[in-house]
Amino acid sequence: MTVSSDPAQWQVGLIGYGEVGQILAEDLRKQNVTVSTYDIKLDGAQAAPLREHAGKFGVALARSHADLAARADFIVSAVTASQAVPVAQACAPTLRAGCWFLDVNSASPGAKRRAAALIDGAGGRYVEGAVMTSLPPYRIKVPLLLGGSGARELASLLPALGFDARFASAELGIASAVKMCRSIMIKGMEAMVIESFTTARAYGVEEAVLASLAETFPGINWEKQGAYFFQRVIEHGRRRAEEVREVTETVREIGLTPWSSRGTAERQAWMADLADAGVFGSRGTKDFARSADWRVEADRILERIRQAK
């Protein structure tokens, strides 16, 4: 059976049912698109909220990667960066001929090429996707760069499903290189703000630091930006750390030592460890990473440091 040229008729499969998968599922189901999902957490202790969400929006639950691949015309892989290639490998044996496989994971160009070889070799159509900003404000319309031999064709099809997809290059790795280079800056800024602001808070000089930053970069509201960076890293530091580890691989692939990116990955992972330890409140509660004042979170960090001495 060949894949329909009408996206409205597609069976959409979402691999990874975290923030990205759930948002896409909600927006696709609003259009009455048939959606299935598989996430390794469906087999573990964290399955209940995922199953509840899927039931609420009419999303079918697949039993495995292979089960999902066997039923889908269009697969979106949205897992942690380190799983991009293993997911492609798990889907390949049962992939339907001509199935589109959109890999939106924040992986290095090298990882994307390895995943593409698995999918294309199994008769699928691999396209790399680079999500160019935070998903929640835009939802399914988040700016998305596509790369690969089928990227131009898929870019013409996806708007029918509500995606804001743009063709980047027929060469694999270009779209992900744009994403990775951007992440050096964005994820690095997050790590630097957390380190700078927390240290400034400890010395009691945060107001002077903020005033100096506002003078140098008057277009940025550092209070608001600081709060946003703290919240996003506390909530998603683990995923961000994995992404930045892929960034370090991207940098190494050109022969450059990734000193800055390596430090960013360590800071993001350190914040994730603190979040897992309950420093920022209990996950799922209103007080978890929701303060409009970054000082609240900085004080929690400083208290934890004092306790550890």
Looking up tokens 């277009």, which residue turns up?
219
CATH number at residue 273: 1.10.1040.10
CA distance 106 to 134: 12
**pLDDT per position as a tens digit, 172-231:** 999 999 999 999 999 999 999 999 999 999 999 999 999 999 999 999 999 999 999 999
User: What pLDDT sits at residue 249?
Assistant: 92
Task: Please say whether the beta carbons of 266 and 240 come within 8 A.
Answer: no
Domain hosting 299: range is 176-308
Tell me which residue of 132, 172, 166, 173 sits closest to 152, measured CA to CA. Answer: 166
Q: Does residue 288 surpass a pLDDT of 80? A: no
User: What pLDDT sits at residue 3?
Assistant: 81
Q: Does residue 254 surpass a pLDDT of 70? A: yes
User: Could you tell me the two tokens for 231?
Assistant: 């919240």
Q: Is residue 167 located within the same domain as residue 241?
A: no
User: Could you tell me the two tokens for 186?
Assistant: 């964005």
CA distance 119 to 89: 8
Residue 146 inside a domain? The answer is yes
Q: Compute the Cα dihedral for 144, 148, 152, 156 and give only its sign.
A: negative
Q: Is residue 112 located within the same domain as residue 190?
A: no
> Measured between alpha carbons, how far is residue 70 from residues 34, 42, 73, 105 in Å?
14, 18, 9, 21
Residue 2 inside a domain? The answer is no
Other Cβ atoms closer than 10 A to 203: 9
Domain boundary (125, 147, 172) is at 172
Q: Is residue 260 located within the same domain as residue 232?
A: yes
User: Could you tell me the two tokens for 108?
Assistant: 């290095």
Q: Is residue 259 located within the same domain as residue 112?
A: no
Looking up tokens 């496989």, which residue turns up?
101
**pLDDT per position as a tens digit, 81-93:** 889 999 999 999 9
Q: How many domains does one find in the chain?
A: 2
Residue 243 inside a domain? The answer is yes
What is 95-119 written as a DSSP string?
PPTT-EEEE-S---HHHHHHHHHHH
Q: Is residue 132 located within the same domain as residue 216?
A: no
**pLDDT per position as a tens digit, 235-247:** 999 989 999 999 9
φ/ψ of 283, rounded to 5, equals -55, 140
Q: Is residue 162 located within the same domain as residue 206?
A: no
**Residue 142 DSSP class:** S
User: What pLDDT sits at residue 283?
Assistant: 72
Mean pLDDT of the chain: 94
Domain boundary (122, 154, 172) is at 172
pLDDT range class, residue 284, cuts 50, 70, 90: low
| Local structure of 53: helix, strand or coil | helix
Q: Is residue 181 located within the same domain as residue 298?
A: yes
Q: Is residue 162 located within the same domain as residue 42?
A: yes
Element (H, E) at 242: helix 222-253
Residue 36 inside a domain? The answer is yes
Q: Is residue 157 located within the same domain as residue 190?
A: no
Q: Is residue 64 located within the same domain as residue 88?
A: yes
Q: Is residue 36 located within the same domain as residue 88?
A: yes
Q: Is residue 235 located within the same domain as residue 203?
A: yes
Domain boundary (115, 143, 172) is at 172
